[in-house]
Amino acid sequence: MARHRADRTNDLPPLLVQLMNAAERAGEDHDGADISMLPAVLQEFGEFAQWAIPVHGVFLANSDELSQVVDRVAKKHFALEEAKATLRELLDRTVPKYSERDPIDNAVARLVDAYDGATYYAGLAAGLTAQNG
């Protein structure tokens, strides 16, 4: 585990830290996708969950603060702004041909993936933090 992160993980749930360490060691998932950002993502969400769960309880998913954190992490680690810009650019054009629909579908998929990825890891960190009690 990186030295700068080691001091900040002491209060995080052990299982969350174990996942962070595993992601750091592996560097990519079983499909070969880059997961090098996951330790930082899980740490950020874990730190958020530590104070947010006691304040908001299990209904954290309805919190505006969670939406802001998910948005920030999606921008920082999941290329959300790039996905939005690509989608905007493609939607701003007229789509006269069927062949141009594939790039739009891909842009939408990237946008959804950015949010889904960030939201999934937010839920994982919150669940592990809540379980740690």
Domain around 91 = 3-132
Q: Which long-range contacts (CB under 8 A, 24 or more apart) does 128-133 make?
A: 128/13, 128/15, 128/16, 128/19, 128/46, 128/49, 129/12, 129/13, 129/16, 129/46, 129/49, 129/50, 129/53, 130/49, 130/53, 130/58, 131/13, 131/15, 132/13, 132/14, 132/15, 132/16
Sequential pLDDT tens for the chain (133 residues)? 454 555 567 789 999 999 999 999 999 999 998 999 999 999 999 998 888 888 777 666 667 888 888 899 999 999 999 999 998 888 777 665 666 677 888 888 889 888 888 888 888 888 888 777 6
**How many structural domains are present in the chain?**
1
